[in-house]
Chain A
Amino acid sequence: MENHIFELQYAMDTFYFLVCGALVMWMAAGFSMLEAGLVRSKNTTEILTKNVALYAIACFMYMASGYAIMYGGGWFLSGIEVFNLDEVLATSAENGFDGSSVYSGASDFFFQVVFVATAMSIVSGAVAERMKLWAFFLFTIVLTGLIYPLEGYWTWGGGSVFGLYSLGDDFGFSDFAGSGIVHMAGAAAALSGVLLLGARKGKYGSDGHANAIPGANLPLATLGTFILWMGWFGFNGGSVLKLGDATSAHSVAMVFLNTNAAAATGLIGALVVSQLKFGKADLTMALNGALAGLVAITAEPSTPTALQASLFGLVAGVLVVFSIVTLDKLKIDDPVGAISVHGVVGLLGLLLVPLTNDGASFLGQIVGAATIFTWVFGASFIVWLLIKMVFGIRVSEEEEYYGLDIGECGLEAYPEFSTVKQ
């Protein structure tokens, strides 16, 4: 009888990973729609191509090398196909019904791989409308196959940072679902790329003032935000890592509740601030506000009360508007606000953890954030720089003017005048 219960628990926890992974996978669609909505129509096909291909590259690279670097095991997941029921039952008996979950390694890989794709999706929005398609893909290979997995190894993988110190054991660094490990890391890679890439043509006037370049399709941007919001339940909810006992099930429910609450107040905060600051309710800021609330709560969605989660989301939503405007003034041209939403607010999320989780400290969170940022920013900068020197990372001025859809993909998203040969 006990073995049957353990088998059922194994099935439930594996299933939970898979369903949450599928939800997170859907975030790739969210990023695609959000980015397609916030760029000009002449760059739509290219940004969509980037998004689908980065997902595919991330899946392959993480399978080839990423997962092995982050969690050990063989290259190309060799050995993951082996299933041993006796081992499962023995580990379950050892952990006990309330202990760490026992699940299929394949389900764990699936859940982890979609996080890598999320980190990479953050980059694509920030470098939109001016980066060469294949330069972006080259970078994708390195980020998903090495840069992200290594910092993942130092954090969730429990490894030491180049043999110097351990973030978990020495500093109690805590990042539940990846405000820092996924979101701030993606933003750090994006920032290094944007600095080497420069602003879009026309973004800044000759006297240095920032011009607005409105996005082409706000229905898509809104749909993308809702998709991300929904996918985030898998992102944070799945990071409980277990569903199969009452305590874990309750924890999952709290994570869903808090994730949703923070997104809601993030949106409200950004919307109200944009009305007060700009005199108009800027939808794109509201959308960024919801995402900011989600990013902020990601570092610790299980311990806050509903009110605390709402306050965290509100702070994030307010902060993100000021961050976007400030980065704009600093001439860091980020068409979708990714660096603010995922980087600045990702850091905020890490720093909020000690307020509700006694296991974490501000010092530990700062050391963790600094480690992740330094590594991802530095390594990415070198990779971008190498690609820039060898192939170049920016399209020609003419191509930028006519749009990357034609220049990179030879295909307009909305072709209006086309004739057929009779």
Chain B
Amino acid sequence: MKLVTAIIKPFKLDDVRQALHEVGIAGITVTEVKGFGRQKGHTELYRGAEYNVDFLPKLKIETAITAELVEQVVEAIQQAASTGKIGDGKIFVSSLEEVMRIRTGETGAQAI
């Protein structure tokens, strides 16, 4: 089992959700996050004075999947979330030791 974590531009959420749905993913968790990468921040003006936006808003998507789906899922997210511009985000894949569905107590691939 794998845990796929993707940081994406917030406005791409719906495209990514759609793409994952088409791959057959049963569920995702989305968190609003802030951070910086190569894109860094930018400055804004408020009442004539500058302020730095060092951390830009992004969305973190997490989904637990079976190992054989990894390539498809990563490709789906990459294609759906890409704009070709700096700040598109990253996808992390890590192995997942155990999963349990709280309602039934099922574990492993059954619980995904």
Contact = CB atoms under 8 A, between A and B. Distances in A.
A324 interface: yes
A277 B47 CA distance: 10
B48 interface: yes
A328 B49 contact: yes
Contact of B46 (A279, A282, A321): A282
Contact of B45 (A209, A213, A279): A279
A285 B47 contact: yes
B50 interface: yes
Most buried by A among B45, B46, B47, B49: B47
A279 B50 CA distance: 12
A280 B45 contact: yes
Contacts of B47: 212, 282, 284-285, 324-325, 328, 337
Interface residues of A, number: 19
Contact of A325 (B44, B48, B51): B48
A31 B49 CA distance: 23
A211 interface: yes
Contacts of B51: 211-214
A324 B48 contact: yes
Nearest to A337: B47
Interface string B27-52: 00000000000000000111111110
A162 interface: no
A279 B43 CA distance: 13
A284 B45 contact: no
B5 to A, nearest CB: 25
Interface of B: 44-51
15 contacts: A210-B50, A212-B46, A212-B47, A212-B49, A213-B46, A213-B51, A214-B46, A274-B48, A278-B45, A280-B45, A282-B46, A285-B47, A324-B48, A325-B48, A328-B47
Interface pairs A-B: 9 shortest CB-CB: A212-B46, A212-B51, A212-B49, A325-B48, A210-B49, A278-B45, A214-B46, A284-B47, A328-B49
